[in-house]
Chain A
Amino acid sequence: MVGAAGFPRFLQLLQQGIILWREVGCSVRSFLHDQLRLSPQFVEENIQTIFLDGKPVDDLDRARVKDGCTIALSAAMPGLVGATMRRGGYYASLRAQISHRQEGENGGETAKGRVTLKLFNLVARSLGKTFLEGGFFVTRKTLEDFIRWSQPMGDIQAVLGGAPFDWKAFQAGKSADELVRLRLKIV
């Protein structure tokens, strides 16, 4: 549980990436609309910069979301390089060597898979609450880093498996890659 004032700190987790289990094998557009439930209008107007595994995407219909991939969503960015990263933008050629290469529009079967979702800047401001309250996974290492970084915890109350959170017990002998499920309640 966190008070409204403490909530923005959790946007840090969205910058580093939260893990979701969703249908994959579809196009980025379909993933945003059908799996993340973002309206076409929101995507069109607010998400001008999209990375799939670190590669700027230009055509949402010709980039496929695969198991284990990372998707990052951002608003339009300043600077020449900000403009360069924009999807389908006039300056896209300046980063041609790292652009996402287009794939076929019709992929294979869809199936449940793991996707790391990163939300930046105004996109995180708009959607962060929904994703954090809806529940997500992070690696134990990410959570440990976050807890260390956000000291003092102030108005944050943490509950683990119904009992008050115990930092020592949480750390004891676990793998850094193990996934932890979190859900935020803003009070």
Chain B
Amino acid sequence: MDKILRIDMGAEAGPKVTEEPLGVYAGFGGRALTSAVVSKEVPPLCHPLGAENKLVIAPGLLSGTIASMSGRLSVGCKSPLTGGIKESNAGGQGAQVLARMGYAAIVLEGKPEKDDLYKIVINGDGVKISVDNSLRMLPNYDLVDRMKQQHGEKITCISIGPAGEMKMSAASIAVTDMELRPTRHAGRGGVGAVMGAKCVKVIVLDDTGMKMRAPKDPEKYKEANKRWVEGLKKHPVTGQGLPAYGTNVLTNVLNEAGGYPTYNFKQGRFDGASKISGETQAETETARGGLATHGCHRGCVIQCSGTFNDKDGHFLTKQPEYETVWSHGGQCGICDLDAIAQMDFMEDNYGLDTIEMGVALGVAMEGGLLKFGDAQGAIGLLEEVGKGTPVGRILGNGAAVTGKVFGVERVPVVKGQALPAYDPRAVQGIGVTYATSTMGADHTAGYAVATNILGVGGKVDPLKPEGQVELSRNLQIATAAIDATGMCLFIAFAVLDQPETFQALLDLLNAFYGLNLTADGVVTLGKTILTMERDFNAKAGFTSEHDRLPQFFKTEKVPPHNVVFEVKDEDLDKVFNW
């Protein structure tokens, strides 16, 4: 993983391929690498869909090795949704395969003059780029079937659906899973639209004959991985809770806490929550012959995913995540798991971010386009998005655009990006992260619950807003660093409670690269990433005014606790003081 593959899609004689060593980007992987390339090479004021923007696809530092959980693939660019820097990551096979092929990143640059659609095939023979307009407007599942017919079953696909081709701001980039299904998505920020603007429909990877990446110290690496896996397996969250129920296990808990945004953030509890909870979902999956415990890529020991079959026992979609179930469930007042699974499938197929789309549907419901709870109406609107009708294009450009078009005041977005499934009035600390993240409202931006182990920050007074600001800062630093490793963020729970498991992670990095990294080094890496991202956003025109939640969170009390967001603006402005 010592080279960068650059493809200039706008070269005069057609797409031009160059390979170069990592150079100034040595030591970076995943989000660190995507954000470094974007902040150094993309003009912050460029149009996100223009030739000057770049799409960077990078596996993490430990991807392609035997290290368990190391399969996150980062995708970076200037976001058409937020107008700022973006890193969106996905599971699936992409990171492992790309890393084994020796690539630290693929960078798509420029823009073709004509609107031909391209297919890029990368295998042991090199890189082949061809025009294939027969792929136009193919949904992801059909596209992958076509690729299987053409290139066999041993491939991995990174692709866009019709939404990406139509350059919608909610368009995702799909990555195939172990079963060669396009179920894993770099969903947030409209990265699929940038791939669409580069006129690339699919990147087909075939790593046949390529070996695992070799660590500097293989024995130490093997031993550290053993401790790593043991740590993950013995922890109740990573060893039991997540495998049994997946992330949707949070529905009942958030609902009980009154922090489950319902009817477009009008209330914090949803009457139908138990009908769509992780417990009910797992029971339904098992009863229909699906799987409640499954990995999204080889080498995952937590296995938070699963397969959701329809009533006749046929595969419908992968197990919908908590965020997806919420955005189409509580947010839209829908308590029908089958309808939610159907929408999850449609969004994977059209290539759309499930959070952005669910929130946009809820905003459209508030705007009177359809009634809350109307599952069939919501499915009908998604069909319009896939077809690109005028209403479909409005929704496909996200919650902010939808709110503007339908005259809705309560539009839950920060920097243009829809809020995820936790009401920031009930859990104010996460509101700080939503407001200040470089990515727009993003729960995963402050997800790495490992700050105590990392030793970042000092003493926090639980009852003061400064405490929440400080915790959010430390969480964002820790998360940025983990995003660079290629590790799935769900490792954080085992790392939080078990210092020896955190040490195993450090030992993996050190044994692989021959380093002497300590917790301090991890903190420095996290700060470096955030600093690059903040600088880019500042040059793109972002000020402290953009680090705010929408006004209604400060003025509308959310039942049942009847609280508003109380963290002061001047405290939000301190998040990045270090």
Contact = CB atoms under 8 A, between A and B. Distances in A.
Interface in A89-120: 90-98, 118, 120
Interface centre among A79, A120, A149 (most CB of B within 10 A): A79
B471 A96 contact: no
A121 B256 contact: no
A90 B452 contact: yes
B131 interface: no
Nearest to A120: B252
Contact of A84 (B245, B286, B427, B560): B427
A122 interface: yes
B259 interface: yes
A3 interface: no
A63 interface: no
A90 B237 CA distance: 16
A95 B429 contact: yes
B157 interface: no
A68 interface: no
Interface in A1-52: 5, 8-9, 11-12, 15-16, 48-49, 51
B279 A121 contact: yes
A15 B252 contact: yes
Contacts of A78: 237-238, 241-242, 247, 249-250, 304, 490, 493
Contact of A97 (B304, B475, B561): B561
Contacts of B278: 121
A65 interface: no
Interface residues of A, number: 42
Nearest to B447: A80
B85 interface: no
Contacts of B269: 54
A37 to B, nearest CB: 22
B271 to A, nearest CB: 9
Given A91-B471, A95-B429, A12 B256 contact: no
A49 B252 CA distance: 12
A51 B428 contact: no
A80 B286 CA distance: 27
A96 B463 contact: yes
Given A75-B236, A76-B236, A85-B257, A93 B467 contact: yes
B531 interface: no
A79 B429 contact: no
B283 A76 contact: no
Name the interface size band of chain B.
35 or more
A122 B240 CA distance: 8
Interface string B265-294: 000010001110111100100110000000
B193 to A, nearest CB: 28
Contacts of A92: 462
Interface centre among B247, B257, B273 (most CB of A within 10 A): B257
Contacts of B244: 121-122, 125
A77 B462 contact: no
B122 interface: no
Nearest to B444: A80
B214 interface: no
A94 B468 contact: yes
B257 A93 contact: no
B250 A80 contact: no
B241 A121 contact: yes
Contacts of B379: none
A72 interface: yes
Interface string A117-146: 010111011000000000000000000000
B561 A54 contact: yes
A81 interface: yes
Interface in B442-466: 443, 446-447, 449, 451-452, 460-463
Contacts of B575: none
Nearest to B460: A93
Interface centre among B259, B278, B304, B449 (most CB of A within 10 A): B449
Contact of B257 (A11, A16, A56): A56
Contacts of A81: 250, 254, 259, 422, 427, 430, 443
Nearest to A17: B274
B428 A95 contact: yes
Contact of B493 (A54, A83, A97): A83
Nearest to A95: B427
Given A98-B258, A118-B256, A91 B241 contact: no
What are the nearest 9 A-B pairs in CB distance?
A94-B429, A93-B462, A15-B274, A83-B449, A120-B252, A8-B283, A72-B256, A95-B427, A51-B256
Given A77-B250, A121-B244, 18 more contacts: A15-B277, A54-B560, A56-B257, A77-B249, A77-B253, A79-B250, A79-B322, A81-B427, A84-B430, A93-B429, A93-B461, A93-B467, A94-B428, A94-B430, A94-B468, A95-B257, A96-B467, A121-B279
Interface of B: 236-238, 240-242, 244-245, 247, 249-250, 252-254, 256-259, 269, 273-275, 277-280, 283, 286-287, 304, 322, 422, 425-430, 443, 446-447, 449, 451-452, 460-463, 467-468, 471, 475, 490, 493, 496, 560-561, 563, 566
25 contacts: A8-B287, A12-B274, A12-B280, A15-B274, A15-B277, A48-B236, A49-B253, A51-B256, A74-B253, A76-B241, A80-B443, A80-B447, A80-B449, A81-B430, A84-B427, A90-B451, A93-B468, A93-B471, A94-B429, A97-B563, A98-B259, A120-B253, A120-B279, A121-B249, A122-B240
Interface of A: 5, 8-9, 11-12, 15-16, 48-49, 51, 54-56, 72, 74-85, 90-98, 118, 120-122, 124-125, 149
